[in-house]
A and B are shown apart, each in its own frame.
Chain A
Amino acid sequence: MSVSFRTVFRKDFIELTRNRLLLLFVLFLSGLVSMGGVVGYRLADTVIFSLILIIIVQYTFDAYNNDIRSGAALFLITMRAGFYRIHLSKILISLILSLPLFFVAFLHQDTFSLVAVHEKLILVASVVLTVNVTYFAIAVTKKSDTLTFFVGSSFALGVFHGIGAIQQLWFQYGTLALLVTMFFLFDCFLYRSKRFRASL
């Protein structure tokens, strides 16, 4: 008996709809970016990308912290849900959360290059990496709100800027793929670690 991915995703989606503060924050930022001074601004892409990553860090922290505090994490382990299902669900929700800001970029294609295929791929990989890094930060910092947010967002933004500095396309993809895989493996290890399990 094992819980299906659909069930885990449904649970995370319902929880997202209950996280009204975060949803309002996403809508507020989308509105601000769309109507405010960012459109036409020289660093528009950097700003929108950074905002997406910050939202993802906050969501991932809220979602995992909620699982731990409510006992859902224990239930999912008892149900043998498997880390990959739980984590993949958070990644999918994160991608959904990045859609409003992406939509703004789509509406202002003259300003944002985010709609280009290359940028889209980098965005998706960065979202996955951010979820991986944030989970890593939660497990390592013992769920400390400020520290997790600081570690998650500074790492994600640092990687984003670092990737941008790389000239070769294949090297950008390669670096991101390596980091995504590396942090996923770290996360799998941490999920089964005494340190993390003791906090449940």
Chain B
Amino acid sequence: MNATVTFGYTRKNPIFSMLEFKIPDNEITVLCGHNGAGKTTLLKILSGILPSEAALKESWFVPAGSGLIRHFSLSDHIRMLKATDTELYRAAFELFRAESFYNVPIRKLSTGQSVMASILTAIASKREILLLDEPYASLDPVNAQHLCQLLKMYPGTVVLTSHDLFLTLETSAHIQFLKSGSVSWVNQNPEISIEELRAAYAEFA
């Protein structure tokens, strides 16, 4: 999937100018980069939150935090989607032990639980493309591993941002670094080691 992204809040200062963003179909791509590199902005552009011609129609955006309706529970959100059970959803439900917070309003959940609720809602949406903004940030190591496992099972395309190089490597070999509004480094080598990734991060991110 290719997208040419040109975006700026003002015409004089574009954040992305003709950024050629390529993501492999039905694979996971991890975006890395320093704070302020434009990772979240890029996801918001692709999801159509920020108005742009590069928006991908069949995408679902999971923001950092939760991005769900505070007074609704996970069950309310799932009902809203009129979603039918899928194998992946059931697996996610079990791995995240969602039974314990399924009927609890989002405002009463911990940050990690609301992120898990948000991810479950995204999976239930069955959109072709999932865009996740730092999904690992609020999860404990066990649930972060579960998420990694679930993303690998997702039948569509996944793009996520992460600051955790270990989890990045574990999630996918398709890694891209963003720097000053452009893709500064791309990896597709499945054999890359954490040391090599760290070295690339130090040089290109």
> Residues on A close to B: CB < 8 A?
1, 3, 7, 11, 14-15, 18, 66, 70-72, 74-75, 77-79, 192-195, 197-198, 200
User: CA A66 – CA B51 in complex, angstroms?
Assistant: 22
CA A79 to CA B63, docked complex, whole Å = 14
| B50 nearest in chain A by CB position | A197
Partner of B49, one of A1, A74, A193: A74
State the 8 A-B residue pairs at the shortest beta-carbon distance, nearest first.
A71-B67, A70-B70, A72-B69, A74-B67, A14-B71, A197-B50, A78-B61, A7-B80
* Residue B65 interfacial (CB < 8 Å): yes
Out of A72, A194, A197, name the residue touching B70 (CB < 8 Å): A72
Complex Cα gap A181–B131 (Å): 36
Give 24 A-B contacts (CB < 8 Å), ordered by A residue. Answer: A1-B82, A1-B125, A15-B70, A15-B71, A70-B69, A71-B63, A71-B65, A71-B67, A71-B68, A72-B68, A72-B70, A74-B61, A74-B63, A75-B67, A75-B68, A78-B47, A78-B49, A78-B60, A78-B61, A79-B81, A193-B51, A194-B9, A197-B44, A197-B50
Q: Given the complex, which residues of A lie within 8 Å of B69, measured CB to CB?
A: 11, 70, 72, 75
List 8 additional A-B contacts (Cβ < 8 Å) besides A71-B68, A74-B49. A1-B125, A3-B80, A72-B68, A75-B67, A78-B61, A79-B80, A194-B9, A194-B51
- Interface set, chain B 46-70, CB cutoff 8 A to A: 47-51, 60-61, 63, 65-70
B residues near A18, Cβ cutoff 8 Å: 71
Give the complex CA separation of A72 and B51 in angstroms.
18
CB contacts (< 8 Å) of B81 on chain A: these are 1, 79
Cβ of B21 within 8 Å of any chain A Cβ, yes or no, is: no
CA distance A77 to B61 in the complex (A): 10
- Chain A residues whose CB sits within 8 angstroms of the CB of B47 once the complex forms: 78
Residue of A nearest to B51 (CB): A192
- What is the CA–CA distance of A18 and B81 in the complex, to the nearest angstrom? 24
User: Is the CB–CB distance between A198 and B50 below 8 Å?
Assistant: yes
Q: A15 — which chain B residues lie within 8 A by C-beta?
A: 70-71
Q: Which residues of B contact A192 (CB under 8 A)?
A: 51
Does B63 contact A197, Cβ atoms closer than 8 Å? no
Confirm or deny: B166 has a beta carbon within 8 angstroms of a beta carbon on chain A.
no
State the Cβ distance, A107 to closest chain B Cβ, in Å: 33
Interface check B204, CB cutoff 8 A: no
Residues of B within 8 A of A72 (CB): 67-70
- Assembly CA distance A71 to B48 (angstroms): 15
A14–B69 Cα distance when bound, in Å, is 11
Question: CA of A162 to CA of B77 in the docked complex: distance in angstroms?
Answer: 45
Q: Which of B178-204 contact A (CB under 8 A)?
A: none
Closest-CB distance, A139 to chain B (whole angstroms): 14
Contact of A194 among B50, B65, B72 (CB under 8 A): B50
- Chain B residues lying within 8 Å of A74, measured Cβ to Cβ, are 49, 61, 63, 67
Residue picked from B44, B49, B68, B71, most chain A C-beta under 10 Å: B71
Nearest Cβ distance between residue B30 and chain A, in whole angstroms? Answer: 21
Residues of A within 8 A of B44 (CB): 197
CB distance from B152 to the nearest CB of A (A): 23
A129 to B70, CA, bound (A): 28
User: Which residues does chain B contribute within 8 Å of A1, judged by CB atoms?
Assistant: 81-82, 125
**Contact residues of B between 61 and 112, Cβ < 8 Å to A:** 61, 63, 65-72, 80-82, 107
* CB closest residue in chain B, given A66: B70
Contacts of A70 in B (CB 8 A): 69-70, 107
- By a CB distance below 8 angstroms, the chain B residues around A79 are 80-81
